[in-house]
């Protein structure tokens, strides 16, 4: 697998302490270099933890799914911190697990060929979610897509901790794209027609009296790059996961802050569309960041 490296800023603290209205909150950032590596057995618990924050209470065997992601042939990347030479020397004397910490994973799983329990779970989950939450056209499309084994469908996994900047997704998606096309000539199971992506987003609830429809609510994407996938998706639907227990959006919140309601949005697009998105992603992120700075 080709290494995928990107520098970015990590938040200095992942567990913010409670603050009072008179406290001054100082943001601290640390310059950290990351790299993409092939998933290994020792990454098992970290990968499973990342999947848990995406799927929450969904009926999917995440232990099995983690094993599938690890044992797939030369596809997918986990995000790890690049160790400095001084750190490597110190690690020889210290029992430090920091070098094994996984900050994210980008990969794909075939959900057409039901060769494992988790794949059967994912196949059924997509059908159930579509029947419950999408419009009639999308429901019809998803049912046709997943009922025909001639359609090769992959679930695109793009999960990481929220304080990892979206720019790191560019080399990770580019590496995944190369790996998929390299494998599809050897294994038909990776010759996908469509990809499905489950995105994490939050809607700002400004109306304290409650606005169940969340119409025109501000949207915050957990992974900023997924907004481009959303713009170009062929089909999509979403559902609220407020009642599911899971990690909250990181940050320091006070009582006056608007409530953040967690959602999942399912995006469906062709592999050709995925290639187009990965071609556009780097420039789109730069332009999007510039626009945000201009507004600020």
Higher-pLDDT residue of 209, 263: 263
Q: How confident is the model at residue 33 (pLDDT cuts 50, 70, 90)?
A: confident
Q: How confident is the model at residue 130 (pLDDT cuts 50, 70, 90)?
A: very high
Neighbouring C-beta atoms of residue 130, cutoff 10 Å? 23
pLDDT per residue as tens digits for the range 222-248: 999 999 999 999 999 999 999 886 554
Give the rounded percent of residues in the chain with a pLDDT score beyond 70.
74
pLDDT at 1: 44
Q: How confident is the model at residue 73 (pLDDT cuts 50, 70, 90)?
A: confident
Q: How confident is the model at residue 20 (pLDDT cuts 50, 70, 90)?
A: very low
Of 121, 112, 125, nearest to 154 by C-alpha is 112
pLDDT at 4: 42
Does 98 have pLDDT greater than 80? no
Q: With helix as H, strand as E and coil as C, how does the chain read?
A: CCCEEEEEEEECCCCCCCCCCCCCCCCCEEEEEEEEECCCHHHHHHHHHHHHHHHCCCCCCHHHHHHHHHHCCCCCEEEEECCCHHHHHHHCCCCCCHHHCCCEEEEEEECCCCCCHHHHHHHHHHHHHHHHHCCHHHHHHHHHHHHCCCCCEEEEEEEECCCCCHHHHHHHHHHHHHHHHHHHCCCHHHCCCEEEEEEEEEEEECCCCCCCCCCCCCEEECCCCHHHHHHHCCEEEEEECCCCCCCCCCCCCCCCCCEEEEEEEEEEEEHHHHHHHHHHHHHHHHHHHHHHHHHC
Does 146 have pLDDT greater than 80? yes
Higher-pLDDT residue of 258, 132: 132
Using a 10 angstrom Cβ sphere, with 0-12 exposed, 13-18 middle and 19 or more buried, the burial of residue 89 is exposed
Q: How confident is the model at residue 209 (pLDDT cuts 50, 70, 90)?
A: low
Q: How confident is the model at residue 202 (pLDDT cuts 50, 70, 90)?
A: very high
Higher-pLDDT residue of 205, 212: 205
Mean pLDDT, range 142-149, rounded to an integer = 93
Distances (CA, A) of 243 to 43, 129, 240, 246, 262: 29, 16, 8, 9, 9
Higher-pLDDT residue of 157, 206: 157
Distance CA 204, CA 258 (A): 6
Q: Name beta bridge partners: 218.
A: none
Mean pLDDT, range 128-150, rounded to an integer = 95
Rounded to two decimals, what is the model's pTM?
Answer: 0.82
Distance CA 200, CA 52 (A): 12
Q: Are 264 and 226 in contact (CB under 8 A)?
A: no
pLDDT at 293: 57
Question: In this structure, what is the dihedral angle of CA atoms 19, 10, 240, 132, given to the nearest 10 degrees?
Answer: -170
Instruction: List the structure tokens of 66.
Output: 């983690």
pLDDT at 30: 57
pLDDT per residue as tens digits for the range 176-199: 999 999 988 777 778 999 999 999
Q: How confident is the model at residue 206 (pLDDT cuts 50, 70, 90)?
A: low
Mean pLDDT, range 114-118, rounded to an integer = 91
Backbone angles phi, psi at 76, to 5 degrees: 95, 155
Sign of CA dihedral 161, 10, 76, 149: positive
Distance CA 77, CA 70 (A): 10
Distances (CA, A) of 282 to 277, 279, 286: 9, 7, 6
Does 70 have pLDDT greater than 70? yes
């Amino acid at each position: 697998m080709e290494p995928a490296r990107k520098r970015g800023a990590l938040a200095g603290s992942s567990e913010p302490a409670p603050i009072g209205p008179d406290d001054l909150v100082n943001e601290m950032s640390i310059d950290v270099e990351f790299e993409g590596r092939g998933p290994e057995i020792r990454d098992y618990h970290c990968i499973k933890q990342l999947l848990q924050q995406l799927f929450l209470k969904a009926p999917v065997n995440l232990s099995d799914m983690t094993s599938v992601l690890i044992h797939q042939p030369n596809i997918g990347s986990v995000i790890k911190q690049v160790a400095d030479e001084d750190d490597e020397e110190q690690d020889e004397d210290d029992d430090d697990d920091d070098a094994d910490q996984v900050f994210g994973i980008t990969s794909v799983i075939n959900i057409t060929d039901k060769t494992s329990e988790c794949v059967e779970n994912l196949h059924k989950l997509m059908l159930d979610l579509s029947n419950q939450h999408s419009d009639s056209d999308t429901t019809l499309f998803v049912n046709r897509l997943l009922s025909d084994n001639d359609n090769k469908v992959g679930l695109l996994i793009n999960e990481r901790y929220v304080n990892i900047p979206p720019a790191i997704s560019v080399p990770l998606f580019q590496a995944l794209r190369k790996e998929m096309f390299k494998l599809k000539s050897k294994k038909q199971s990776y010759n996908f027609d469509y990809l499905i992506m489950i995105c994490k987003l939050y809607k700002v609830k400004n109306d304290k009296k409650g606005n169940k429809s969340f119409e025109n609510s501000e949207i915050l994407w957990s992974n900023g790059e997924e907004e481009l996938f959303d713009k170009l998706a062929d089909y999509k639907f979403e559902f609220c996961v407020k009642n599911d227990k899971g990690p909250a959006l990181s940050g320091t919140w006070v009582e006056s802050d608007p409530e953040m309601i967690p959602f999942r949005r399912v995006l469906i697009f062709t592999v050709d569309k995925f290639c187009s998105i990965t071609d556009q992603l780097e420039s789109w992120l730069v332009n999007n960041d510039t626009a945000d700075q201009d507004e600020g």
